[in-house]
Amino acid sequence: MSAVCLSSVARAYDGARALDDVSLTAPNGHVLALLGPSGSGKSTILRLIAGLEPVDSGEIHFGDALVSSRSHTMPAEARRVGFVFQDYALFPHLNAAANVAFGLDKRQRAERELEALRWLDRVGLKHRAHSFPHELSGGEQQRVALARALAPRPHALLLDEPFSGLDPVLRAELREITLGTLAETRTTTLFVTHDAEEALLVADRLAILKGGRLLQEAGPRDAYDHPNSHDVAAALGPVNVFKASVENGAVHTPFGAVRAEHLGGAASARAVVRAEALLLRPGTQARLLDVRPSGAHDLARIEAQGVIWRALIPPRSALADTVDVEIHPSGAFAFSA
């Protein structure tokens, strides 16, 4: 195992920038989650690390070893990285055991088969060793793909939205199995997802990307509590936004003030308030438009001065038609606009 380190990496397709000056480190034995919408460049990062594509500029290191630079690309087959593709890319003509054994070519045949079975056992699929991919369920295919990627003991494991095709219950279960296996094997992992909740759950470190640029790299708690931009705050959960000038060190929204001393007397600023940072209690400050159940929280829509915000509130809150609103400072941020 070794750390994976990108320095100032750039990549373009037909002149269109897919990745622009990105520097990142996946610490040795930890999980780095890459979060961003489609087209943010997160899958490109995995392909560059795997050596499936060359970098246009910048460098990629595994530990001390340089694997990609402008002048040199170590071939993918020599890199020893594990890759779990979004569609799993299991070989359709090989059974589960043979798929897992594919990367173990340096050993005796019997030893190889035993090793493959050990890995299938580890992901709870020993009994499916002789099934072909089309006979496996989506979740089983994902676990075979994970075992296949880990079996050759890679320097690093790359997971490209590995749970995206699965239903929510199975997804949570597989996440547990995957994280458990990764922790046991202490594998350096890069995990691509566009699901904020999933990223926060799995990550030791979190990198948020947009349009091929790295917006912020931080621990998950830190990124959530101290986003460095409106985009990062919005990427990690639902937010409300209000634009106004800074007066007396704060942005004054219709629902309350958000502290903004660090912006000085900026003419235009943007207050970004997480939906769960709005506390509602009986009062007259705002109109309560409606309340709907939304899982662990209820989603309320409130209106004041013609502005409508959304608030996540404890379920079954007894509220009248009008409410007072308090903005909890831990979920309220101000950025220059």
CB of 69 to other proteins, least distance (A): 19
Closest by Cα among 117, 103, 112 to 155:
103
**Which stretch in 64-72, 89-97, 263-271, 316-324 sits in contact with other proteins by CB under 8 A?**
89-97
Per-residue x/- mask for other proteins, residues 112 to 151, rule CB under 8 A? Answer: ------------------------------------xx--
Q: Is 162 in the site for other proteins (CB under 8 A)?
A: no
| Tokens linked to 235 | 């990427």
The residue among 52 and 114 lying less far from other proteins, judged by its C-beta, is 52
The size of the interface with other proteins (CB under 8 A), counted in residues, is 26
Q: Is 171 in the site for other proteins (CB under 8 A)?
A: no
Q: Which of 14, 15, 38, 105 binds other proteins (CB under 8 A)?
A: 105
Q: Is 102 in the site for other proteins (CB under 8 A)?
A: yes
Q: Which of 14, 15, 16, 92 binds other proteins (CB under 8 A)?
A: 92
Per-residue x/- mask for other proteins, residues 38 to 67, rule CB under 8 A? Answer: ---------x--xxx---------------
**Which stretch in 1-9, 75-83, 264-272, 323-331 sits in contact with other proteins by CB under 8 A?**
75-83
The residue among 55 and 300 lying less far from other proteins, judged by its C-beta, is 55
| Tokens linked to 291 | 């309340």
Q: Which of 89, 170, 257, 299 binds other proteins (CB under 8 A)?
A: 89
The residue among 47 and 297 lying less far from other proteins, judged by its C-beta, is 47
Q: Is 210 in the site for other proteins (CB under 8 A)?
A: no
The residue among 85 and 279 lying less far from other proteins, judged by its C-beta, is 85
Q: Which of 41, 82, 139, 256 binds other proteins (CB under 8 A)?
A: 82
Q: Measured between alpha carbons, how far is 65 from 246 in angstroms, rounded to an integer?
A: 49
Q: Is 80 in the site for other proteins (CB under 8 A)?
A: yes
Assess contact for 99 and 134: CB atoms under 8 A: no
The residue among 89 and 114 lying less far from other proteins, judged by its C-beta, is 89
Q: C-alpha 14: how far from its chain's center?
A: 27
Sign of CA dihedral 316, 328, 34, 230: positive
Residues interacting with other proteins, by CB under 8 A?
Answer: 47, 50-52, 75-83, 85, 87, 89-93, 102-103, 105, 148-149, 152
